Structure 1
Amino acid sequence: MISLPYLLRSENIVRIEGKHLLIGDRRVYPFEKRFERCSSVPEIASALKRMVTQGGGPLDVALTAMEFVSKQMKEGIIQENFAELERSAALLIASRPTNTTMKRSLLALLEELRGDPDFVAQVEPLVEAKKAVFDQLYHQLGKEGSALIPDKAGVLTTCFAEHTFLLSLAYAKEDGKDITVFVPETRPYLQGSRLTAPSLEEMGIDVRVITDGMGATFLSTGDANIYMTAADLVCMDGTVVNKVGTLGNAIAAHRYMVPYYAFSVSPDPTKLDARDIQMEWRDAEEVTQCMGNPTSSNGMQALYPAFDIIPPDLVTGVVTGKGVLKPEEIKRNFQ
């Protein structure tokens, strides 16, 4: 029986309680199990921008936020106006521009509702149906990913790859495979050491936390014999976008002939290649501190590109709802 760890249970990602939307605060896990309480869409968008949740979390939060807006409309807190629903979606989309799955899901929802005089009542069932599709897709990709994992597996990852990656490991473990996962800490938020590693430990999977610069070493020794990450975005030519640090490990994996697979629930048909990517740069001050503590001298200049662009020639395959595809197969399957 496959069970999800605390962080991936739906009620701990986001839920509506009374007049508030609660977002599981991944910035403080595992030291605290805290929720950010939001009473409006601007507050929800601000929470997304402040990285209260990351990875696949913003998708769940954004969809639930649309339910929250419809609830506020029913209760007379805000006006029953389709334009208000559109404004809410625009705020959410702008909060995380690299997350195009979130954007396309919200825009698709709006198109399904457009012109329906009873659109307010239709938001909740449509959102719940979309969530159910994604949940089913997570398990499908998890099973596909588990088949790629060798029996004696040293799995290198980056950041917090959420449902698809963790489910791959869970299904591989269920099949009796011997797995050790190498998890870079993932500066500056430490999603690897704070989110991925505790979740794997909770699932009973052998895990080792390493620093961000150690991936190439474990690839070179053969301790890590497969590299697997999430993908915040996949272009039609097979270009992958994921947390900064992914590119260096992908280059090292290529050098040492270790396969690199990225999980994508939704390659973006509007992004042909790297030229179409809007790169998200974040506040450089986040690089000069860690968990609120300074890591350099006061006023030090820094840079923080939040994501890496991994060219297709470094990608062995992309795990999708249409199978494990080579980069050159993405376009004909998704466009």
Structure 2
Amino acid sequence: MNKGHSIMEYETVELDDENGELVIIDQTKLPFKTEILRLKTQQEIWNAIYLLQVRGAPAIGVAAAFGIYLAAKEIGSEDYRAFYKEFQKAKDYLDSARPTAVNLSWALKRMEAVCNRNKDKPVKEIKKALLKEAEEIRDRDVSVCRQMGEYGLSLVKPGDGLLTHCNAGKLAAVRYGTATAPMYLGAERGYGFRIFVDETRPLLQGARLTAFELHESGLEVILICDNMSASVMRSGWVNAVFVGCDRVAANGDTANKIGTSMAALAAKRYGVPFYVCAPTSTIDMEMKTGDDIIIEERPGEEITEMWFKERMAPEGINTYNPSFDVTDNDLITGIVTEYGIAYPPYTESLKKILAESLYGYVPQL
């Protein structure tokens, strides 16, 4: 346990290459305890992703990149075929940790591509190239989140009330976050936002993480239960909703933490703009619609007894606990990316943004 330090002083995900460790904040212990985990084995890293000790699409991608680099580093063979076989085994293992967040497979595919591009080089050089790629994935996350923050900030004005769901903040990325990036940049520039945070049942990422990190950063935060979002929108207290995203389908349907679609429905009813902050790495053009996205289902105990001093549901009760839901594209006002804001029809605007991303740079506003 670390006392006397703000959560903002720690990196969400970092690499200790000298000691061969992936270093993360254990997000399951927040806000009561700030515990830094140092993960050495692939099983430890897999568990950290599955158990949500590290979570959020961007942070998962960075953790996967560093994790597979550490796996590659431990492969002893200097023969490329033998090395690559072990690399693929480790890649497939990490990729199985969480099926919905596309950044996991995206980062692992990028790392695999490094192996393929350098297959004629000594294995020692391939390992160096893998480290460089993992570091680039981390650094890119920071610049991407800041750019999304700039675009998101252009959609609101000083004094606005904002609402967010789950945690798409610094704890879900390396810095700034996705949906919270406009909030952090606005705070730096004196916008004076009032931010409503859904608690986000059943794992309480909004209450434990988003409210915690925004409050630690000095922003005005109002925590509400998930079923209160429609009420605050009806009262006229919310001028825009910003949420994160784990996967975007080609038609603009998005998968995000369970309950996101309910906030989108309420926003549509009360005329509140609903924005999804999604780095281009989360756009999956192979998924034609949200119906194609695999939704992770988690243990029912998260509903019936997790966080409670005593079990709060009858023994033997049936449960259904999907971790994500799909927000239909007609409920989304715009999708904020690092290359600009996509508007309907998304089948056209997302293609255009992905074409921009092929140039390989992040545009500066």
- The aligned residue for residue 105 of structure 1 is 107
1:186 partnered with 2:200? yes
Is contact 1:182–1:209 with CA below 8 Å preserved after alignment? Answer: yes
1:334 partnered with 2:354? yes
1:318 partnered with 2:332? no
TM-score norm. by structure 1 comes to 0.91
SS of corresponding position for 1:234: strand
1:301 partnered with 2:318? yes
- The aligned residue for residue 68 of structure 2 is 66
1:139 partnered with 2:153? no
1:242 partnered with 2:256? yes
SS of corresponding position for 1:148: coil
Query: How far apart are the structure 2 equivalents of 1:144 and 1:103?
Result: 26
SS of corresponding position for 1:318: strand
Query: How far apart are the structure 1 equivalents of 2:156 and 2:183?
Result: 8
1:206 partnered with 2:213? no
Query: How far apart are the structure 1 equivalents of 2:261 and 2:354?
Result: 24
Is contact 1:263–1:318 with CA below 8 Å preserved after alignment? Answer: yes
Cα deviation code 1:23-79 (max 9, x no counterpart): 321011111111344331122112211111221321121111022223323799xx9
CA drift of 1:321 comes to 1.8
Q: Which moved more, 1:232-241 or 1:101-110?
A: 101-110
CA drift of 1:6 comes to 5.4
- Paired AA for residue 33 in structure 2: E
CA 1:231–1:199: 2 relative to 1, 3 Å: same
- Paired AA for residue 336 in structure 2: V
SS of corresponding position for 2:47: helix
1:222 partnered with 2:222? no
Q: Which moved more, 1:17-26 or 1:260-269?
A: 17-26
- Paired AA for residue 213 in structure 2: S
CA drift of 1:249 comes to 0.7
CA 1:229–1:7: 2 relative to 1, 3 Å: farther
- The aligned residue for residue 18 of structure 1 is 19
Is contact 1:157–1:182 with CA below 8 Å preserved after alignment? Answer: yes
Structure 1 unaligned regions, length at least 5: none
CA RMSD between the two structures = 2.3
CA 1:11–1:179: 2 relative to 1, 3 Å: closer
- Paired AA for residue 99 in structure 1: A
Is contact 2:340–2:353 with CA below 8 Å preserved after alignment? Answer: no
SS of corresponding position for 1:178: coil
- The aligned residue for residue 54 of structure 1 is 55
- The aligned residue for residue 287 of structure 2 is 271
Query: How far apart are the structure 2 equivalents of 1:203 and 1:104?
Result: 31
Structure 2 unaligned regions, length at least 5: 170-176, 356-365
TM-score norm. by structure 2 comes to 0.84
Identity of aligned residues (%): 28
CA drift of 1:180 comes to 0.6
Is contact 2:160–2:192 with CA below 8 Å preserved after alignment? Answer: yes
CA drift of 1:292 comes to 5.9
CA 1:290–1:43: 2 relative to 1, 3 Å: same
CA drift of 1:161 comes to 0.9
Is contact 1:269–1:334 with CA below 8 Å preserved after alignment? Answer: no
Cα deviation code 1:80-99 (max 9, x no counterpart): 71222212121111111111
Query: How far apart are the structure 2 equivalents of 1:97 and 1:232?
Result: 10
**Count of equivalent residues:** 329
- Paired AA for residue 301 in structure 2: E
Is contact 2:114–2:130 with CA below 8 Å preserved after alignment? Answer: no
- The aligned residue for residue 360 of structure 2 is none
CA 1:138–1:88: 2 relative to 1, 3 Å: same
- Paired AA for residue 115 in structure 2: L
CA drift of 1:283 comes to 1.1
CA 1:10–1:34: 2 relative to 1, 3 Å: closer
